[in-house]
Chains A and B, each alone.
Chain A
Amino acid sequence: MKKQVFSVCGMCSARCPIRVEVTDGRITWIEGNPYAAGIEGSMCARGSAGLVHVYDFERPQGPMVRIGERGSGEWKRVSWDEALNYIANRLSEIIGKYGPKSVALLDRGGGLFGEMQRVFIKAIGSPNYFNHDDLCRKDADLALQSLIGIPRNQISYDFANARHIVSFGRAFFDAVVVKEANNVLKALEKGAKLTYFDPRVNVTATKATRYLRIRPGTDYAVVLALIHQILKEDLYDRDFVNKYMLGITDLEEFIKPYTPKWAEAESGVPEYQIIKLARELSEAKPRVIIYPYWFGARYTDSFYYARAVWILNFLLGNLEQKGGLILAKSPKEVGAQPLKSLLDPIPAPQDKRIEAELGKGFLYDGAGHILHLYKAIKTEEPYPIKALFVYRYDPFAGMPLEDIKEITRKLELLVHIPVDYGTTSWFADVILPESTYLERDDIIGLQRGAKPAFILRRKAIDPVYDTKPRWWIFTQLCKKLGLEKYVPYESIEDIWNYQLEGTGIKIEDFEAKGFVSLCKEQVLYSRDQLKFKTPSGKIEIVSSKMQEREVPIFYPYKTPEKPKVEEGEFRLIFGRAAMHTHVRTQNNPLLNEIKPENELWINDEVAERLGIKDGDWVEVSSGDYTGKIKAKVTPFIHPEAVFMVRGYQNDIPWLSRVYGKGLNEGRLLKGAFDKFALGSHTGVLFENFVKVKKA
C-alpha cells in the first residue's frame, strides 16, 4: 500500500517543504514539495539521503545513561521512564541547591518549530535559553536590529528579480538552500550580475559573473570603500535616503578616509574594481542585493561589517523593492490571525539571564549569547550554571577538546537530545534520542515572508528505533518535574488544536499541500509609507539601541594581523560543501561516499616554498592540537589562508564511516571560544592561526 505525506525536510536548517512516499510502511521516495514555489519537486543531495539516514543503525537507538568516565564510551541503554526519572531527580537536586537559573538550555536555533524546547526551560523558571546564532548569523541580526529594529530573518531577498547580487562569502551554491539557489540562478539567466568575494574559489565563485579574491579579514574594508565611493559620487538613492535614513552626515564624516585606493592596499581587491562595482550597483539600484554574511561569526569586526552592508543596501534604496530586500510579513500584517503561543500561559522567570548582570557594551536581543554561557559555566560568574540541556545541536563537535573538558568539568548534569551521535553526546550524562524528521510530528510553524504561511511537519512512518518526538520529550520532562499545568497536552493533535485556535484554519487544511498560505498574493508596502521598528521610526545609522547599550556607533577599521606565512603559519578558514550539513551528515552512508574526507586547501606558491605537493599529508597544529590531513595545492586560495570543508568529527568512535578520516577544524580553534566580536559579543572563528608542515 502506498501513501503520500507532505512534511518538512530536516537534513539541514533550510527546512524545505517535502513530499514523502511510503510503500508498505517503508519510505520509498522523498522529493521537494511540488506545490512550493521555487522548489517544484527539486531536492538537494542531503534531502534525498534522508531516506538512508532514517534507516541507519549508526544513530542512537534508545535512551542512554553514561556509566563510565566522560569520553570513555561506556553507556547503559535504559527505558524512557528510567532516563526521564534520572534527569528529574538530578535536576531537582540542582535546582534545590542553585535555583532554577542554574539550568540552561542550548538550542541550535528556534526555527519554525522551536517553541517546544522553550516551553520546557521557561516552565522550570530559568531565563537561560541560548541558541547557536552567535556562532552563525547573529552579527547580521544585531546589525539589522541596530538600524531598523528587526532581526535578519524578518527580511527576505528577492534574488530572482535582482539585477546585481553581491556576496562576501555567502556561498549560494556550496551551502545550498534549494529555493535560494534556484532564485539566484534565475536572476543570472535573466542577465543579472553576481559579484563574489572570497579568499578561495568555490562553486559559487565559478558561477559568479565576477570573482574577486580578497585577503581574509578585510571584507569590512571593501564595504567601507564602496560606501565611500557611493557617497562621493552621489550614487545613492537620494529620495529614499532623505526620507528614511538618519545619521548620513555622521556616516559621511566617518567614511572619509576609506577610499577604494586605501581598500586595495588592505584587501588586494583592485581600486578600479571597487569603483566599477559602486557605479554598477548605482545603475542597477534599487534591484540590488548586497548579502551580509549568513555564517557571520568570522572576524572581530564582523558586526560592524554587517552594519556597513545593511547601510550600503539602504543607500541604494532597495528596501521593500522588487529585486531587493523584502520585509517578511507576520500573519497580522497580511490580515490573518497568528498561531497561539505555547509559551504565553507560562509566567516569565523571576531571575535574569546571565547577560543582564554583565553590564553594557554589547548588544543582545533575547536569545542569549552562547559565548557568555560558556564563560559563565567555566567561571561560575555572574552565577553558576550547573545543568545544561542541549537540543538539536552538537556544539562540542566544532570545539577544541580543552574547552569541552573545562565546560563539562563544571556541569553536574549534561543532557543531549540529538537525532545523531556526535561529540556532545559522547561527553554527555544522558542521551535522549529524538526521532528523525521523517518519524516525528512537530508543532505547527510560521513561515514569514512576503506571503506568509503556516507549515506542518508530519511523520511519514513510525520511529524505526526507540526514539521520541520533541513535543513528547519536553512535555514528559515537564510532567516528571510536576509542571504538567504548563503542558496540558496528551497528543500532538492537542497542541495543533491549541495553536490553531482563533485562526479559522483546521488541521485538515494542511492535507492538500502541507502548508496553508495566509494571503493570496505577496504583500509589499508602498515605498512612501515605510515605518521602521526603531524609536524614530526611521533607519537609524546613529542607532538608539546601540547608544542605549553603550556600543560605539562606528568602528574605525584596523588591519588584520598577518600570519607568518614564510614560517608555515596561516589563517584557518572553513566552509561548506553542497553534500554535507555542518557536522551532521559526514557519516551518512551515501553522503560519505561522495565526500568521505576533507582536505586542506593551500596556495600553490606558498606550498612550493614549504615543500608541500598536491596530495601530500600535512600536519596542522594549533599549539595544543595537531592533526594530519591531505593537502590540496591550488592557485585558487589566498596565500594567507588555509581552508577546510568543515564538520569531519574524526575522533568519535560511534561515527565509524568518518572515524579517522580528514580533520575536524573545530579541534584547531584554540582560544576561539574566549574571543568576542566587537559590539555584538558573537564568535570570531576566523581569527585563528595554525601552523602547517609536511607530515
Chain B
Amino acid sequence: MSLYYIYQDHNRCIGCFACEVHCKTNKGLGPGPRLCRIIPTEIKAINEQVVQRFIFMPCFHCEDPWCVKACPTGAMQKRAKDGIVFVEPNLCVGCKNCITACPWGIPQFNPETGKVVKCDYCKDRIDQGLLPACVSKCTTHALKWVSTQEASTIKREKFVKEAYANLY
C-alpha cells in the first residue's frame, strides 16, 4: 500500500462527478478511460430520510499489486519511495493483462494511444507539493488527501461522534 490515502467524506460528497472530470482534464484524456469513478448506490428510505451514497473509486495502490505482477513488459510499476502504482507509457504495449488482473477494474485502456492509463495519484503534482486533481478541486471538499494513519483516525473519530452524539 502506498503511504497515501484519499479519504471520502460521505456526508459531504454530493455525487456530482466533478472528481472524474478534474482527473481527466488534468491528464488530457478524452471520452473512454475514466481513472477514478463515482459509483452511486441505490436510494433507500430510512424513517424520515432517504439515503444514497456515491462511492469514490480511484486506484487503491495495493501493497502487492496484481497489475504489476501481471505486466509482461515492466510498464506497470510501483514507485519505491511512496508506493504509488503507475504505468510507464513507453514500456506499455497495450496487452491489457493488468486490466484482467486487477480485481477492481482500475487500469483503463486509452484507445487514442493504444496503451493503458491509470490513476497515479497525480504523482507529478504530488512531487511538486500539490494535491491530486480530484482532491484539489473536489466541489465540496469531500475528498481529503491523508496518510493511511490519518484516514483511520478520521474514521474512528467520526464513528464516535455519530454513534455517541445522542447518548447523553
Interface residues of A (CB under 8 A from B): 29-32, 40-45, 47-49, 51-52, 173, 176, 178, 181-182, 185, 188-189, 201, 203, 205-211, 578-579, 589-594, 634-636
B14 near A205 with CB under 8 A, answer no
Q: A206 vs B136: C-alpha distance in the bound complex, in angstroms?
A: 25
Name 18 A/B residue pairs within 8 A (Cβ), A-sorted.
A30-B25, A31-B137, A32-B137, A44-B18, A45-B17, A45-B139, A48-B137, A51-B25, A173-B14, A182-B140, A185-B12, A185-B140, A188-B11, A203-B15, A579-B18, A589-B30, A593-B31, A636-B45
Asked if B153 CB lies within 8 Å of chain A CBs, one says: no
Identify the stretch in B46-54, B71-79, B92-100 within 8 Å (CB) of chain A at 4 or more residues. Answer: B46-54
Per-residue CB contact flags for chain B residues 4-20 toward chain A (1 = under 8 Å, else 0) read 00000001101111101
B66 to chain A, nearest CB (A): 27
B48 near A43 with CB under 8 A, answer no
Which of B20, B25, B31, B51 makes the CB contact (< 8 A) with A206? B51
B50 near A201 with CB under 8 A, answer yes
> Which B residues lie within 8 Å of A579 (CB)?
16-18, 21
B52 near A592 with CB under 8 A, answer no
Asked if B167 CB lies within 8 Å of chain A CBs, one says: no
Asked if B148 CB lies within 8 Å of chain A CBs, one says: no
Asked if B1 CB lies within 8 Å of chain A CBs, one says: no
A211 near B49 with CB under 8 A, answer yes
A42 near B141 with CB under 8 A, answer yes
For B53, the closest partner residue in chain A by CB is A206
Query: Which of A178, A203, A208, A591 counts the most B-chain CB atoms under 10 A from its CB?
Result: A203
Asked if B24 CB lies within 8 Å of chain A CBs, one says: yes
> Which A residues lie within 8 Å of B32 (CB)?
593
A173 near B31 with CB under 8 A, answer no
For B14, the closest partner residue in chain A by CB is A173
A209 near B18 with CB under 8 A, answer no
Q: A49 vs B31: C-alpha distance in the bound complex, in angstroms?
A: 12
A201 near B16 with CB under 8 A, answer no
A615 to chain B, nearest CB (A): 15
Which of A30, A43, A201, A589 makes the CB contact (< 8 A) with B31? A589
Q: A51-B25, A173-B14, A178-B139 are in contact. List 4 more A-B contacts (CB 8 A).
A: A47-B18, A185-B14, A578-B17, A579-B18
> Which B residues lie within 8 Å of A589 (CB)?
30-31
Q: A44-B139, A181-B140 are in contact. Are A210 and B49 (CB under 8 A)?
A: yes
> Which A residues lie within 8 Å of B136 (CB)?
31, 41
Q: A49-B21, A52-B25 are in contact. Are A176 and B141 (CB under 8 A)?
A: no
> Which A residues lie within 8 Å of B16 (CB)?
44-45, 173, 176, 203, 578-579
A148 to chain B, nearest CB (A): 32
A336 to chain B, nearest CB (A): 31
A147 to chain B, nearest CB (A): 32
> Which A residues lie within 8 Å of B34 (CB)?
593
Asked if B138 CB lies within 8 Å of chain A CBs, one says: yes
B21 to chain A, nearest CB (A): 4
Per-residue CB contact flags for chain B residues 113-147 toward chain A (1 = under 8 Å, else 0) read 00000000000000000000000111111000000
* Count of A-B contacts judged by CB separation below 8 Å: 111
A593 to chain B, nearest CB (A): 4
For B141, the closest partner residue in chain A by CB is A42
> Which A residues lie within 8 Å of B17 (CB)?
45, 578-579, 594
A211 near B22 with CB under 8 A, answer no
Q: A662 vs B86: C-alpha distance in the bound complex, in angstroms?
A: 37
Q: A176-B139, A206-B43 are in contact. Are A211 and B18 (CB under 8 A)?
A: no
Q: A49 vs B139: C-alpha distance in the bound complex, in angstroms?
A: 13
Asked if B26 CB lies within 8 Å of chain A CBs, one says: yes
B52 to chain A, nearest CB (A): 4
Q: A182-B141, A189-B11, A636-B43 are in contact. Are A48 and B50 (CB under 8 A)?
A: no
A46 to chain B, nearest CB (A): 8
Q: A29-B26, A210-B49 are in contact. Are A41 and B137 (CB under 8 A)?
A: yes
Q: A48-B25, A49-B21, A636-B50 are in contact. Are A42 and B14 (CB under 8 A)?
A: no
For B24, the closest partner residue in chain A by CB is A590
B51 to chain A, nearest CB (A): 6
A42 near B140 with CB under 8 A, answer yes
B31 near A590 with CB under 8 A, answer yes
A623 to chain B, nearest CB (A): 33
> Which B residues lie within 8 Å of A593 (CB)?
31-32, 34
A595 to chain B, nearest CB (A): 8
A209 near B139 with CB under 8 A, answer no
Q: A52 vs B18: C-alpha distance in the bound complex, in angstroms?
A: 14
B26 to chain A, nearest CB (A): 7
> Which A residues lie within 8 Å of B15 (CB)?
173, 203, 578
List CB contacts (< 8 Å) of B19-69 with chain A: 20-22, 24-26, 30-32, 34, 43, 45, 48-52
> Which B residues lie within 8 Å of A201 (CB)?
43, 50, 52
Q: A115 vs B26: C-alpha distance in the bound complex, in angstroms?
A: 35
A210 near B48 with CB under 8 A, answer yes
For B32, the closest partner residue in chain A by CB is A593
For B19, the closest partner residue in chain A by CB is A45
Q: A253 vs B128: C-alpha distance in the bound complex, in angstroms?
A: 68
For A188, the closest partner residue in chain B by CB is B11
Q: A591 vs B26: C-alpha distance in the bound complex, in angstroms?
A: 15
B14 near A578 with CB under 8 A, answer yes
A648 to chain B, nearest CB (A): 17
> Which B residues lie within 8 Å of A48 (CB)?
18, 21-22, 25, 137
> Which A residues lie within 8 Å of B52 (CB)?
201, 203, 206
